[in-house]
Chain A
Amino acid sequence: MFDSAEASALDIARAVAEGAMTARAVVEAALARIARLNPLLNAFTDVTAERARTRAAAIDARRAKGEPLGPLAGAPFAVKNLFDVAGLPTRAGSKINRDRPPALRDSPLIERLEAAGAVLIGALNMGEYAYDFTGENVHDGASRNPHDPARMTGGSSGGSGGAVAGRLAPLALGSDTNGSIRVPSSLCGVFGLKPTYGRLTRARTFPFVASLDHLGPFARSVADLAACYDAMQGPDAEDPACAARPAEPVTPTLAAGLDGLRIATAGGYFRRGLSAEGHSALATVAAALGVTREVEWPEAARARAAAYVITCAEGAALHIDRLRTRAKDFDPAVRDRLIAGAMMPAGMVIRAQKFRRWYQARVLELFEKIDAVLLPATPCTAPRIGQETFTLDGVEMPVRANLGIYTQPISFIGLPVVAIPVPLTPLPIAVQIVAAPWREDVALRIACVLEKNGVAAAPKPARTSSAPAGA
């Protein structure tokens, strides 16, 4: 019996194309799982049921007429609620944005996925205004980790990680400014792709830090991640930061293996504060790839500091009017950081942007000698919801600010990264595969090898096995 909860997006598309399954049945099964599991996981803030049914019926009608279907035909997907979805106010995890008029059009990434046949089933919980690594939200409640609902999903794309790990959807979209795709990928145990800065259009999404914002997909298989990414590529004049380069599909080279790839790990900064689980996952991945080389990543601590400074300042500039008029409607933890950011002297921010250029040049020199670097994604597995501190290397530190210590130095210069889940027991944790700019294909090839040899996998949470079977 076809199990659409466990099936990949590509399996679903194949089943729909072959007539083994209708898109309508896949959507109904997904809606039933959401109705059953979302009260526990709190991944969805909006379910677009009627839209999804209409869309699925149209796909089934196309098939009945013998018309060609897209590569993701009938595959359900959901988006972090900072994406414009026609008919919904783009809340971006906030109370304030709920007063906005409903979006008139979908974000272009939704349009592109639907053009490939995927079916939007809803919008997903997130940390307020994406200024978050926990997945907690004071207005909508915390996203809950499918592997242990008492634990964090990670954020800010918490609902995206939870929905895919919890088998509510095979695909989800999120955003990543400092780690908001890779942190939930790690804590929820799913694959996540943060593409090169400028690769995917951010038009018609609610921004956070213009010079750091990226969008990207979550999935439970590398092939799904690649197919979703390929469907979304291409220039878009509506986003000034979106590169003019044409789409460079990665699916055709996914199974190319490791031949010719120079892969290393990095020590120093990226080993400090790492838990035993993080060390174990990294060692397992390196051993599976036969990687023994270790490189020195330049100035990672300073890069993280500069990313922090730029985030505070650009985030504050975005929200300054709302801070003046509706300060009490913010999550206090977000508000107080933004107010501090508004007070930063401009010279500090410009200095951080100058350092960024210097740092980018040093890191690109590193990528002349190697093709990919393996790094931890998070210091530890999922902390408990509400947990304020954790102990790293014997030092007690705030969780909220430090879950992204290994992700920030990478997104700071827009490098492409695939987060691959290592299914440790009882909780998964991810490893980052970082490649040179515009070489998502390299990171995905490596991820594909690790998935094939069983080192990387999106483990099935025990609780979702009680979801309705059937389609």
Chain B
Amino acid sequence: MSPTDLDEFIAASARALALPVEAAWGPAIRFNLEVTFRFASLVADHPLPDDAEPAPVFRA
């Protein structure tokens, strides 16, 4: 995502989640989101089978 796209995503998400994000916080939130998306992308690049179980499981 471009910085502008990310800023729009942050603004829309803040509204959807009712988070009172001030304009001055924007650059730090964008930086953190960029890092998080980059790490999530690294994880997503690793092939996994459809039946891979998530690690935390509920035991009845």
Residues on A facing B (Cβ under 8 Å)? 210-211, 299, 301-302, 305-306, 308-309, 312, 320, 323-324, 327, 332-333, 335-337, 339-344, 348, 350-358, 360, 401, 413
Contact = CB atoms under 8 A, between A and B. Distances in A.
Interface string B28-43: 1101110111011011
Question: Which of A302, A342, A343, A348 has the most C-beta atoms of chain B within 10 angstroms of its own C-beta?
Answer: A343
Contacts of B20: 324, 327
A339 B10 CA distance: 9
B42 A301 contact: yes
Contacts of B54: 350, 353-354, 356-357
10 contacts: A306-B43, A324-B19, A332-B25, A336-B32, A339-B25, A339-B32, A340-B32, A343-B33, A353-B54, A353-B55
B17 interface: yes
Contacts of A339: 14, 19, 21, 25, 29, 32
B19 A355 contact: no
A348 B43 CA distance: 8
**Interface size class for chain B?**
20 to 34
B43 A332 contact: no
Contacts, number: 104
Contacts of B36: 308-309, 312, 340-341, 344, 348
Nearest to B25: A336
A211 B56 contact: yes
B56 A353 contact: yes
A233 B9 CA distance: 46
B23 interface: no
Nearest to B18: A324
B52 to A, nearest CB: 4
B55 A357 contact: yes
A309 to B, nearest CB: 5
Contacts of B35: 308, 401
A160 to B, nearest CB: 27
Contacts of B48: 351, 354-355, 358
B58 to A, nearest CB: 9
Contacts of A306: 39, 43
Contacts of A337: 32
Given A306-B43, A308-B36, A336-B28, A357 B21 contact: no
Interface in B6-28: 9-10, 13-14, 17-21, 25, 28
Contacts of A305: 39-40, 42-43
B26 to A, nearest CB: 9
A462 B44 CA distance: 49
Contacts of B42: 301-302, 305
Given A302-B46, A320-B17, A354-B53, A343 B39 contact: no
A320 B20 CA distance: 11
7 cross-chain pairs, A with B, having the tightest CB-CB distances, nearest first? A353-B54, A340-B32, A305-B39, A356-B55, A348-B40, A336-B28, A343-B13
A436 B36 CA distance: 29
A343 B53 contact: no
Contacts of A358: 46, 48, 52
Contact of B43 (A323, A352, A413): A352
A358 to B, nearest CB: 6
A355 B45 CA distance: 10
A448 B54 CA distance: 37
Nearest to A307: B39
A306 B47 CA distance: 14
A354 B54 CA distance: 4
Contacts of A413: 55
A350 B44 CA distance: 10
Contacts of B55: 211, 353-354, 356-357, 360, 413
Contacts of A324: 17-20
B40 A332 contact: no
